[in-house]
Amino acid sequence: MRHRHNKLLEINTGAKSKPVFLRQLLTNLVRNGKITTTSKRAKVLKSYADSFFADLVSNTAAYDAKDARRENIRLVKSEILSEPEGKKVMDTFLPKFIESGKKSWFITTFKMWYRVGDGAEKVMLKIA
C-alpha cells in the first residue's frame, strides 16, 4: 500500500544516507546563500530547510531569550555540519527572519535552464 508515501521526496544519494546528504546540502546553502541543483533535490532540500528555519523561529517565539538561544544552538549543531555556518545562521539569518515576521517560505526557488551533460532541469535555491 502507498499510505503517506511521496515519491517526489525520494532522492538517490548513492552510498551516502539521505539525512547526511541533506545536511551537507543545507550547510552549503547556508555557506553560499544560494545553491544550484536538480529539481527533485531542490524540492526535498526546500522542504527540509524551510522546516529547519521554521523550527528556529518557533523556538524563539515559544521560549524566553536565554532558553530559546540554547535550544536554537542545539538544533543548529544537530543539523549544520560546520561551526562558521552555524554562527552565520544564528547571527545573520535568524534575526532577519524574526525581524521580518516570517513563519514560512524562507527559501525561494528559481528555475534555470537544463544541465549540459544530461539535460536535467536545474533549479537555484536562495535564502530569502
d(CA 58, CA 73): 14
pTM across the whole model: 0.88
Q: Could you list the mean pLDDT of each consecutive 10-residue stretch along the chain, which spans 128 residues?
A: 72 74 95 94 94 96 94 96 96 95 94 92 95
d(CA 66, CA 85): 21
What tens digit of pLDDT does each residue of 46-70 get? 999 999 999 999 999 999 999 999 9
Sorted by sequence, the CB contacts under 8 Å of residue 18 that are 6+ apart come out as 11
Report whether 29 contacts 36 (CB < 8 A): no
- 101's enclosing H/E stretch is none
Q: Three cell numbers at 94?
A: 535568524
Q: Three cell numbers at 33?
A: 546563500
d(CA 108, CA 27): 16
